[in-house]
Amino acid sequence: MPLCHTFIDLKKAFDIVETKAVIEAVGNQGVPTQYIRMLRELDDTFTTRISPFHKRVIINVKRGVRQGDTISPILFSSVLENIMRHLEWEDSGVKVDGRYLPHLLFAEDIVLIRPNIEQAERMLAEFDSACGRIGLRVNLTKTMFMKKGLVPDAMIRCVNMYLPVRHSAFKLYNNEERIMAGGINQSVPISIYS
């Protein structure tokens, strides 16, 4: 089965996501209002201190989620899930056990899954546009594209830039395919071992 995976890197994801987007996302996903109110209160009092030239300065932080806080990956994942729901990709992606799987995500780690390059390009452009509406930006220099199977050789294009393409490496064990970690650069031929 041909597969195209787009591994997305977001620029300073935790630092720049808009607070309004976080509150909206948890609200859309059924979080009780008392918890949303607590999150708002925490956000209103979120400050950081810096000491330039031995003078203490307190700064009110108006965007981002707290790095290192145990709830931050969950809050950020809810923002990304909110984006995915608005993109209406339920009937696209790769079919797994009768259901479509268009993406995998946790915190700022995102993989978009498509059967061909054209759909992968379109999906990446849609995702980038949706992220831009809430202050997030796809880091195209770190975003990677990987193909597996009978996907024709081509470069993936997004916002006037071509992404690096990697082939997945795999071996056959007892007639079962297993994808190995990492990949092989496009200039190196794929080898199948039996």
Q: What is the pLDDT of residues 88-116, one digit of tens each?
A: 887 778 788 888 888 888 878 899 988 88
**Helix, strand, or coil (residue 80):** helix
- Strand 170-173 with 165-167, pairing: unpaired
Is this model's pTM higher than 0.75 or not? no
Cα 117 to Cα 101: distance, rounded to the nearest angstrom: 16
Output the CA–CA distances (angstroms, integers) from residue 145 to 5, 42, 94, 122, 156, in the order listed: 6, 38, 16, 13, 7
Residue type, 33: T
pLDDT per residue as tens digits for the range 148-183: 765 555 555 544 445 555 544 333 333 333 333 344
Q: To which residue do tokens 């720049």 refer?
A: 16
Cα torsion for 117, 133, 106, 68, to the nearest 10°? 140
Please report the domains of the chain, with CATH numbers, ordered by start residue: 3-185 (3.30.70)
Min mean pLDDT across 7-21, 35-49, 81-95, 146-160 is at 146-160
Partnered with residue 95 across adjacent β-strands are 100
